[in-house]
Amino acid sequence: MRVVTIETPQLGDRSYLVHDGESALVIDAQRDIDRVLLAVEKEGVQVTHVAETHVHNDYVTGGYALARQTGAELLVNADDPVDYERRGISDGDEIAVGTLTVTVVATPGHTNTHLS
């Protein structure tokens, strides 16, 4: 497993590209998805999943746009009311990303529906 951190210092924020060498999950993609796509190209992987740890009210997320552009499945907490198509995920769910298994953990605090 490899984790690539994509920092946005102006927001004190990070996005993550997690992959097994072939299939990748992007977590909390920033709106300027060109930086994410550059990292994906550099790593030589295919984005199969895009996840949001919470609904981002402090900035515009790039998750939806990235999922649409790459054909990846968009993962958002099932308890978050959103107006777009996504796979609702909850505490304890397991998502296969290539050879990796990602386990969803509820971590309320930052938001009531925050996930890790």
Q: Give residues with Cβ within 8 angstroms of 46, minimum separation 6.
A: 22, 23, 24, 40, 70
- Are 50 and 25 in contact, with CB atoms under 8 Å apart? yes
Residue range 12-61, pLDDT digits in tens: 789 999 999 999 999 999 888 999 999 999 999 999 999 999 776 655 68
Query: Domains, the chain, ranges and CATH?
Result: 2-103 (3.60.15.10)
Q: Are strands 73-77 and 87-89 parallel, antiparallel or unpaired?
A: parallel
* Closest CA relative to residue 14, chosen from 30, 32, 31: 30
- Per-residue pLDDT reduced to its tens digit, 69-97: 999 999 999 999 888 899 999 999 999 99
Amino acid at 88: G
**How confident is residue 8, by pLDDT bands cut at 50, 70 and 90?**
confident
As a whole number of angstroms, the distance between CA 99 and CA 5 comes to 20
